[in-house]
Every structure is written in C-alpha cells, then in structure tokens.
Amino acid sequence: MKISQTNKNLSIETLRGLAIILIVLGYVIGSVSGNGLKVANDSIWRFLYYAFQYIQIPLFTAISGFVYAYKPVSRFTSNSKFITGKINRLLIPLVIVSTLFYLLQYAIPGTNSKNDLNDIWRIYVYPYAHFGFLQGMMIVFLIITILENFEALNTLKSAMICLIITALIFILLPFKFHYFSLNRVPFLLTFFILGLSLKRFYEVIFKKSIIKTAGIIFVFSLGYQLYIFNEDSPDIIANLLTFGVGSTACILMISLGYQNSKLVWLGDFSYSIYLFHIFGAVASRVLLAKLSVHNIPLQILTGLIAGLSFPVLLRLLCGSNKVLSMLLFGDKIGTIYRKRNQRLPFKNARSVTNSRFFPY
C-alpha cells in the first residue's frame, strides 16, 4: 500500500477518482427513465447504469470510512471539534449548494423537474437530489463518534459485530423515515464501517483466502443482479445484492492496489465534483437539447466531461478565496485549499495526494 509524501494512499485516491466518475456517469444516464437523459428501461445505457448501480455509492462511502480511519475522532481530536468540523464540511455546502441548484432548476427552462419556490424549505429537511448523501453522512458521523467513544470499533470482532448489525438493519428493516435522510443512514453506515474496518484491520482482512472468497461472492452476486435486469424484485433482495456486490467490490478493488496519476488527481476533487457535478451535467443536457443534438453516446460523453470539469474549474477558481471555499466546499475558514503547484492538472499528481439510494 503505497503512501505519498503527503500521507495519502495513492491506490485509495485512485479508487476515489474512479468512484466519482461512476457517480457522475450514473447521474448523466439517470437512475430511472424519467431522470437524466431519460433513456429507455430496456436500452444498453440503462443496463450500463444498472451494472454499476450497486458499486458506485458503496465504493464512495467505503472510501470515506477508509480515509476517516487515518484520523479517527477518538485518537486525534475532541468530540466537539470533530462534529463541528463535519457540520462545517457537510451542512454548510448542503444549505448553500442545494439552494443554488433549486433556484437554477426553477429558473432555467428545459430541466427535468421544477418545484414551487414556497417548497424550498423541504430541501433542508428531506432528501433532495444527491444532497441527501450529506444529510445521511452527518448522522453517520454522529453515530461513529458514539461508537468510537465506546471503543466499539477498536477490535476486529467488535467492528464486525457492528457491521453485521447495520447490514441486517439495512437489508431487512428498511427505514421509512425520510426526515434528513434517516432512511439512508443504515446503508451509508454499513459501507462506512466496512471501509473503516478495511483500513483499521488491513493486515487481517486482506489475506488470499478472504480475497478469493470475496471474488466468488462478487461474481455470483453481480451475475444474479445482471440476470434479473429490469425485473421487479423485493427490497430485501435488492438490498442483499447491494451489500453482496458493493462490499465484495470494495474488498477486491482495494486489494488490487492499482494507482493512476490522473485518477489520483481527480480523486482530490471528488467532494467538489460530488457537490457540483449536477450543475455541469444539467447545463450540458439543456444546451445539447437546444442545439437539437439527440445522439445518446455524444450526450453521455459531453455530460460526463461537463459534470467532472465544471466542479474542478470552480474549485480551482474559488480555492484561494476563504469565504467561498467555506460556503461552497465546506473548507475551514482559516485554510486555503491547495498550494499553487497543486492547481495544475496532473502536475506532480503522485505527490498530491460518497442511484437507487440516491435518485437524481
């Protein structure tokens, strides 16, 4: 597991870059036929979305847990400082960015949905677009803080008990409470604890026997998932497949230790891309519609490029402004995002360095 001079795991940053590409691609295609490019349910593009549906957000969330394990709350900071930091990181962008998107969606013609301005308060209370991830992760960090204080994640045995409990709740007892994305917390917590455990107990978990077992489970789970494409299945089956495919994919991909400098560089912008990819992708879709361009492959490629590049450019333009960095990206008010040499695409990338559950 190679670590860069800035103490970042390059293979994990590579996976972070890959995960955010899959998330943006999923948004561009659309989780259902009424979203994104509104591709037909029986099209190859819907199949492509479905093939990665149970990997994209689980991988993104597991990586968050893996990275958190480098600097957990119980070892490096106080509870209040940790929670304050997460409020700054998650809730401020939640309010600012979701409000911007809601207003733009209302004002710009050609968007897939519009809501009454009188209902804008709902986006802060209920899941809205992809911002439900921020709500859910805030609750996840509160729960993780409690578990860490009780040392419930300090040993492999206790961590696996917590993982099994959260997984069973996610699979068997789907929450019906949509307030502040409470219904998504078991899903997020499951994969966050998985990622945390993969880092904290790396030497124990990543053995050949476990990796081989994960590979077998992945092949059968993904195979069955693809076999039932476009079939209605109970929530329990879908959740079980999500856990089976998502968890084993995380184990297998982390075990590879693959590194790619461009993905490492992109992974450094993953949170910014997650927040703002929707702006670039929607703008691309609306513009191509105005130009009467209806070629699906071209629309997907253009949307993917716009969804990735717009947040990166915005991050680079606003990175040195402390106030904008705090409001738009959740940076601490006293910090500047990156050094000058880190703003050049792909320069010294090796030393530089969150669907069905989140419908767009």
The span from the CA of 232 to the CA of 7, in Å, is 45
pLDDT category, 358, cuts 50, 70, 90? Answer: very low
pLDDT at 344: 44
Beta strand ranges found along the chain (DSSP E): none
Domain ranges of the chain: 1-55+259-360, 70-205
The identity of residue 101, as a single letter, is: F
b (16+ CB within 10 A) / e for 111-140: eeeeeeeeeeeebbeebbbbbbbbbbbbbb
Over residues 243-266, the pLDDT tens digits come to 999 999 999 999 999 999 999 999
CB neighbours of residue 340 within 10 Å: 8
Percent share of the chain, pLDDT over 90 = 75
Mean pLDDT of all residues in 287-305: 94
DSSP 126: S
Q: What is the pLDDT of residues 158-198, one digit of tens each?
A: 999 999 999 999 999 877 788 999 999 999 999 999 999 99
Q: Which residues contact 302 (CB under 8 A, 6 or more apart)?
A: 284, 288
| Local confidence band at 1 (pLDDT 50, 70, 90 cut-offs) | low
Inform me whether the pLDDT recorded for 345 exceeds 50.
Answer: no
**CA 21 to the chain's CA centroid:** 10
The pLDDT tens digits of the residues spanning 96-126 come to 999 999 998 888 776 666 778 889 999 999 9
The C-alpha angle 339, 344, 345, rounded to 5 degrees, equals 130
pLDDT confidence bin for 233, thresholds 50/70/90: confident
Instruction: Identify the sign of the CA torsion 268, 273, 275, 276.
Output: positive
Q: Tell me, rounded to whole angstroms, the distance of Cα 37 from its chain centroid.
A: 21
- Top-confidence range, 34-43, 114-123, 216-225, 316-325: 216-225
Indicate if the pLDDT at residue 90 is higher than 80: yes
What's the confidence (pLDDT) of residue 354?
36
Q: What angle do CA 201, 203, 204 make, to 5 degrees?
A: 65
Sign of CA dihedral 230, 275, 133, 188: positive
